[in-house]
């Protein structure tokens, strides 16, 4: 997730906050302050909004506990989690791979709302204990108890990818033993729930005059709809990529160039005639020493292209992202996306053994999809 900054590291998991979380913080401070002002008229607005801000920060921490519950449960089931993102609608634990059986999915998912429920109970208990103390303190406890209860219940709405939707998917998966069908059903339900939220929000805003909370609800609905669609597509791509390694998709015999080749020769011999976007630079032992692209040529004035060797303009191997032939295609795609590069040299023991670029991956996925569609309609080749 771009535009996120790291705020902490807990148990080996990096915690990132996306800038949109600041909007959530402002909204919670404002709505919390409003609520407190109505409940405790003697506080005055300054105290009410200050307590609202403290509540927002504590709420942020309880959302984090919810996510950590998912992450640590995942880790206990051999699914490593490296990052947690907190953004406008809460948090996301980034699992690099989905659980491979419905039981694990169920456990990892239920851990989050369970943590929120426990927190709700804890805060209600603290509220009961602190009831005769300062009103600012027990008000926060009551607020956090209520919000965590809502958080647990909201997350249990069966709209994939909300926790409830994941629970629904795991149950369908358990029954049908078919992850694909389960994902399709759960994300359609999620999509439908997203539309209900949008409709409900608009009704609230325009029929009942609750503009801010109505728009907020519609906004959540729109997010749910988008997330349901994206999760479904991601799940389908993951499935197509399952069991595919870089070596199955890479170009095993890419054009290469020696380091002393003049820029001019590279451009006219490789980039223009062969329509390559990037050419790996290798030494006589086929060891990769760099990668050169058309845009690198702009570093040197045109009249020097016939004399300057490409080793002067290439990106050296140390600064390159590379993959190995046995890496999974999914991992390679993650690297392509994360570093916004178009191609990755494939390296084995320092030697160049192939090139993987986006076009290869897209072509491959397209082909797989066509083959599957043909097989599903019974028109596939029968061998």
- Cβ-based nearer residue to Zn ion, 88 or 137: 88
Alpha helices for 131-256 (secondary structure H): 135-155, 163-176, 179-207, 211-241, 246-249
CA nearest to 279, candidates 245, 323, 311, 247? 311
- Cβ-based nearer residue to Zn ion, 147 or 320: 147
CB of 112 to Zn ion, least distance (A): 3
Which residues form the interface with Zn ion (CB under 5 A)?
112, 163
CB of 66 to Zn ion, least distance (A): 5
Distances (CA, A) of 32 to 88, 203, 287: 16, 23, 61
CB of 155 to Zn ion, least distance (A): 5
- Cβ-based nearer residue to Zn ion, 162 or 332: 162
Please name every residue paired with 343 in a beta bridge, in sequence order, or none if there are none: 357
Is residue 336 within 8 Å of residue 273, measured between CB atoms? no
CB of 174 to Zn ion, least distance (A): 19
CB of 233 to Zn ion, least distance (A): 21
CB of 219 to Zn ion, least distance (A): 19
Q: Taking the CA of residue 101 as centre, how many other CA atoms within 13 Å lie in the half-sphere pointing to its CB?
A: 4
- Cβ-based nearer residue to Zn ion, 163 or 327: 163
Task: Spell 51-60 as b/e; 16+ CB within 10 A means b.
Answer: bbbbbbebbb
- Cβ-based nearer residue to Zn ion, 163 or 204: 163
Give the Cα separation of 35 and 48 in Å (integer). Answer: 8
- Cβ-based nearer residue to Zn ion, 68 or 240: 68
Please name every residue paired with 348 in a beta bridge, in sequence order, or none if there are none: 351
- Cβ-based nearer residue to Zn ion, 163 or 245: 163
- Cβ-based nearer residue to Zn ion, 110 or 346: 110
Give the Cα separation of 99 and 110 in Å (integer). Answer: 13
Residue with the closest Cβ to Zn ion?
A: 112
Is residue 322 within 8 Å of residue 332, measured between CB atoms? no
Give the Cα separation of 149 and 156 in Å (integer). Answer: 11
CB of 104 to Zn ion, least distance (A): 15
Encoded tokens for 127: 């509220």
Number of residues written out for the chain: 383
Separate counts of helices (H) and strands (E) for the chain: 11, 9
CB of 91 to Zn ion, least distance (A): 7
CB of 230 to Zn ion, least distance (A): 17
Encoded tokens for 299: 């570093």
Give the Cα separation of 195 and 77 in Å (integer). Answer: 34
Report helix, strand or coil for 344.
strand
- Cβ-based nearer residue to Zn ion, 163 or 276: 163
């Amino acid at each position: 997730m771009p535009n996120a900054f790291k705020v902490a590291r807990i148990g080996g998991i990096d915690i990132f906050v996306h800038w949109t979380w600041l909007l959530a913080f402002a909204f919670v401070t404002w709505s919390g302050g409003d609520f407190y002002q109505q409940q405790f008229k003697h506080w005055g607005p300054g105290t009410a909004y200050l307590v609202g801000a403290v509540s927002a920060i504590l709420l942020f921490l309880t959302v984090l506990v919810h996510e950590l519950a998912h992450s640590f449960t995942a880790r206990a089931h051999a699914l490593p989690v490296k990052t947690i993102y907190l953004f406008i609608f809460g948090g996301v634990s980034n699992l690099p791979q989905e659980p491979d059986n419905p039981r694990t999915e169920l456990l990892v998912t239920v851990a989050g709302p369970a943590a929120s429920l426990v927190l709700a109970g804890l805060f209600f208990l603290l509220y009961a204990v602190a009831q005769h103390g300062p009103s600012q303190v027990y008000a926060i406890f009551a607020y956090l108890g209520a919000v965590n209860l809502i958080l647990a219940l909201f997350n249990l709405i069966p709209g994939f990818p909300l926790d409830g939707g994941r629970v629904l998917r795991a149950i369908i998966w358990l029954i049908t033993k078919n992850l694909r069908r389960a994902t399709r059903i759960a994300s359609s339900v999620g999509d439908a729930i997203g539309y209900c939220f949008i409709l409900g929000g608009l009704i609230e805003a325009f029929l009942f005059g609750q503009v801010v909370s109505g728009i907020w609800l519609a906004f959540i609905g729109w997010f749910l709809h988008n997330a349901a669609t994206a999760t479904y597509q991601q799940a389908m791509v993951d499935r197509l990529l399952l069991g595919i390694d870089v070596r199955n998709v890479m170009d095993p015999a890419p054009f290469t160039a020696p380091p002393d080749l003049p820029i001019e020769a590279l451009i006219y011999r490789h980039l223009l005639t062969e329509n390559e976007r990037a050419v790996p630079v290798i030494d006589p032992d086929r060891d990769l020493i760099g990668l050169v692209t058309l845009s690198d040529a702009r570093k040197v004035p045109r009249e020097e292209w016939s004399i300057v060797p490409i080793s002067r303009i290439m990106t050296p191997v140390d600064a390159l992202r590379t993959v190995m032939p046995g890496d999974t295609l999914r991992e390679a795609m993650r690297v392509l996306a994360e570093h916004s590069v178009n191609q990755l040299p494939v390296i084995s023991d320092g030697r160049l053994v192939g090139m993987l670029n986006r076009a290869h991956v897209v072509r491959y996925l397209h082909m797989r999809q066509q083959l599957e569609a043909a097989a599903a309609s019974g028109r596939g080749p029968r061998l």
